[in-house]
C-alpha cells in the first residue's frame, strides 16, 4: 500500500478563493510527522507546514493550515485567499519515527490559480 496518497492530480481555483488539497497516509508508527511542500517550476521544494502526530491542534502558517484528522489518517492542506503565485505542484510527505530523517512523498497535486 502507498504510504502517502494524493488523489487529486490537478486542482483549479480562482484568485482569492480557498482551496483544499487532499492527503491520506498509512503508517503503523505511533509517532510521525506530516509535511507539505510546494514545488514551483524552478524545481526547489519549499517547506510550507508541519503537523506532528501528537499535536492536538491543527497547524497553521499564515495562509496555510493543515486539517489533521488522525483517525481517518488524513492531512489536508488548506490554502486561504489563493494568489497567482500559489500556482505550483504541492506534495504531502511523511516522516515516520522508524524512518530516520527520510521523507516519503506522495505523487503531488498541481494547483492552478486563475485571475
Binding site for another protein (CB under 8 A): 4, 31-33, 35, 37, 42-47, 50, 52-53, 91, 93, 95-97, 99-108
Closest CA to 74 of 13, 1, 7: 7
Q: Which is nearer to another protein, 40 or 81 (CB)?
A: 40
The minimum distance between CB 89 and another protein, in angstroms, equals: 9
Shorter beta-carbon distance to another protein: residue 15 or 54: 54
- In the numeric block, which cell numbers belong to residue 87? 500556482
Whole-number Å distance between alpha carbons of 91 and 22: 10
Report, in Å, the least distance between residue 29 CB and another protein: 9
CB of 78 to another protein, least distance (A): 20
| Residue written as grid cell 509517532 | 31
Cβ-in-10-Å burial (0-12, 13-18, 19+) of 54 comes to exposed
Amino acid at each position: 500500500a502507498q504510504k502517502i496518497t494524493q488523489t487529486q492530480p490537478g486542482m483549479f481555483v480562482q484568485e482569492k478563493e480557498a482551496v483544499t488539497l487532499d492527503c491520506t497516509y498509512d503508517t503503523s508508527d505511533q509517532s510521525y510527522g506530516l509535511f507539505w511542500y510546494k514545488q514551483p517550476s524552478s524545481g526547489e521544494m519549499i517547506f510550507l507546514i508541519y503537523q506532528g502526530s501528537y499535536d492536538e491542534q491543527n497547524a497553521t502558517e499564515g495562509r496555510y493550515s493543515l486539517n489533521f484528522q488522525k483517525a481517518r489518517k488524513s492531512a489536508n492542506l488548506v490554502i486561504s485567499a489563493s494568489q497567482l503565485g500559489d500556482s505550483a505542484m504541492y506534495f504531502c510527505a511523511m516522516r515516520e519515527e522508524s524512518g530516520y530523517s527520510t521523507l516519503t512523498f506522495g505523487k503531488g497535486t498541481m494547483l492552478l490559480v486563475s485571475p
